Structure 1
Amino acid sequence: MSEDRLFLRGLQIMALCGALPEEQTRAQPFEMDIELGADLVPSGVSDQLGDTVDYSAVCAAVCAVTHGQRFELMEAMAHKVAEVCFGCDERVVHVTVEVRKLRPPVPYNLAISGVRITRRL
């Protein structure tokens, strides 16, 4: 199995995610890093987009699912994003998703809260 990775860093979205009532009605800023495990040898040899994972399509799918759904936990959002990534391209065999809430609503001097998950087929 290939150890190749395609990564997307700093994808910024607005999403409904959180346990507090106001977080369920007002979109908040989140940032994501996504790492896709796939065999990139064919695209390295051919230099053709059709031989690799189209990261633009992945970004579009992730933005669509996070915009159209309400999550109580970042864990659930990250899990859904991983599922979407697997659905974007059959070559993807594992996904790591990091979700960061950029302004967590807590009474502490906390800049970012987040989760990181890894899923494998």
Structure 2
Amino acid sequence: MQKTNEKLDKIALSGMKFYGYHGCLNEEREQGQDFYVDVTLSLSLHSAGKSDELKNTVNYAAVFEIVKSVVEGQRFHLIEAIAEHIADLILGRYPEVRAVEVTVHKPAAPIPGDFQDAAITIRRAQGDQKA
């Protein structure tokens, strides 16, 4: 169990690219588009650093597969829902992760005008998903 004064460390996976069929418009749900996801996990990495054992940390490849299963395996109208599902799955699978931040980028969002990216970021902590 984590001490309340223990400083949390971070694991970050940035720029994960997936092709998905998300959006409110029929064209988005039929044609699909690229989505990029960034995930930052907050947890103690002390044990992993001392032991040099994968079993004492969160496997990055497993986190990638969680994100991939949501973005490529499900369909949502909102990128907010994509992020929420990713956060719920990570927190549910890894109780040692105290909090997770998920950013979903939708650079080809159907916005009339010139823009580089449309993205949302959520932060969820252990216990939030039970509310």
Please report the TM-score for the alignment, with normalisation by the length of structure 1. Answer: 0.94
- Equivalent residue number for residue 120 of structure 2: 115
Q: How many residues align?
A: 121
Aligned mates of 1:16, 1:93 — CA distance in 2: 30
| 2:68 counterpart letter in structure 1 | C
Shift of 1:118: 0.2
| 2:81 counterpart letter in structure 1 | A
1:64 pairs with one of 69, 86, 90: 69
1:79 pairs with one of 63, 81, 84: 84
Unaligned stretches of 5+ in structure 2?
1-5, 127-131
Shift of 1:82: 0.6
Give yes or no for the alignment of 1:5 onto 2:10: yes
Shift of 1:33: 0.8
Aligned mates of 1:72, 1:2 — CA distance in 2: 37
Aligned mates of 2:48, 2:58 — CA distance in 1: 9
| 2:36 counterpart letter in structure 1 | E
Which ranges of 4 or more aligned residues in structure 1 deviate by more than 2 Å?
none
Shift of 1:2: 3.3
Q: Name the Cα RMSD after superposition.
A: 1.1
| 1:32 counterpart letter in structure 2 | V
Describe the SS at the equivalent of 2:109: coil
Shift of 1:62: 1.2
Unaligned stretches of 5+ in structure 1?
none
CA contact (8 A) 1:32 1:97 kept: yes
2:30 pairs with one of 25, 32, 36: 25
Q: Which has the higher strand share?
A: 1
Describe the SS at the equivalent of 2:31: coil
Shift of 1:29: 0.3
| 2:120 counterpart letter in structure 1 | V
